[in-house]
Structure 1
Amino acid sequence: MARIRAFMDSKQNVKVHPTEVDCQHRIVSSGGVRLLHLSTFGSDQRASQPKMSQSIQLDSARAGELIDIIKAAFPELRNR
């Protein structure tokens, strides 16, 4: 649970996750800075009640970077 300060290209060996989760979003402000807050919740296979698993926050600059990363990953979105 943290604010994203930087995005970097990764060389990690990653695989597709086997489960899907829901993500809630909310706009929050702190000291006049607007942040996008994203929270994910446990998968359907979780034994207990739904519970927040992870959360991240992005300021305007990081959100702009993420938009560029998403458009690079999904070229069909570039003209949206």
Structure 2
Amino acid sequence: MTETRETRIKRMKMRSMRRGIKEMDIILQAYAERNLDAMDDAGLDRYDALLHENDQDLYQWVTGQVAPPAPFEDLISDIAQTFQK
């Protein structure tokens, strides 16, 4: 059975706020709440893939300590800007 869009977004919002590292919980929860509902399917696919990445890596990418991999560059930049707002 395929997930509905609504269920998928709810799942990703939950995964965004239950990461393991409190800093990433805060950053990704804020981003998810502000952006997931408006994303197209390709954007949701990219964000879903990002949620499978390691928190330590994500934190370094979002804070600019390490450059993110090419497939995530734009998304990480958007997350970092959302968090700074």
Shorter-chain TM-score: what band? under 0.3
Scaled by the length of structure 2, the TM-score of the pair is 0.23
Structure 1 or 2: more helix by fraction: 2
Scaled by the length of structure 1, the TM-score of the pair is 0.24
